[in-house]
Amino acid sequence: MASAGRFVGALAAVALVEMLLGGLLPEVAETVGLFVLLVVLNSVRGDSLRGLAGGLAAGLVQDVVTSSVLGLHGVACCVVGYGAARVSQRILTTQRVVTLALIATGVLVHQVIVIGLIAILEIALFNPSAIAVLLRVVLTTAVGLVVLWVTDQMRGWMEKRTKGRTLETGRPRWFRGGRLR
């Protein structure tokens, strides 16, 4: 439940950032796939149902935020989320390089699906070049690297802080006096 809450919070944050980038720096918003990044990171830390649900939700939100055809990014993120979750169940994703590879593959798969659907359904005049797709994969993976580093740093800082407070009294701060505060 807590993880679902964290995902919803992260999804809201990504949507907000995407909207801001779309208004201020549209080129950056088009180049970095923040929603895919969120979907992959959510999937590698959970089971396939979580990956599927997260991908579906993130994709639909992306469709709404980017004003594209409803379901376009939904399908792509759904496939990426479910696929990343299934893959992460079979390989060790504790190493950062594996997670980055999953992110890169996820972005690539997402782009392929989106471009394929656009071509089949002739939804809009959107025909990115191979270089644009490659740039999106590289930049999103780079952002993912930053996010992973920041997350690890925060986790380490939190653990250190929790450990320090526990060492002062032998008990957590919220357990002083033998009762909950």
Residue 27 within binding range of other proteins, rule CB under 8 A: no
Among 37, 44, 65, 78, binds other proteins (CB under 8 A): 78
Find out whether 32 and 143 touch, Cβ atoms under 8 Å: yes
Helical residues (DSSP H) of the chain, grouped into ranges: 2-24, 26-31, 34-44, 48-65, 72-90, 96-121, 130-169
For residues 32 and 102, which CB has a smaller minimum distance to other proteins in the complex? 102
Rounded to whole angstroms, how far apart are CA atoms 169 and 67? Answer: 54
Residue 91 within binding range of other proteins, rule CB under 8 A: no
Among 82, 88, 136, 144, binds other proteins (CB under 8 A): 82
Distance of CA 123 to the CA centre of its chain: 26
Residue 56 within binding range of other proteins, rule CB under 8 A: yes
Residue 171's SS3 state is coil
For residues 119 and 150, which CB has a smaller minimum distance to other proteins in the complex? 119
For residues 117 and 134, which CB has a smaller minimum distance to other proteins in the complex? 117
Among 9, 26, 71, 156, binds other proteins (CB under 8 A): 71
Residues in the chain: 181
Residue 117 within binding range of other proteins, rule CB under 8 A: yes
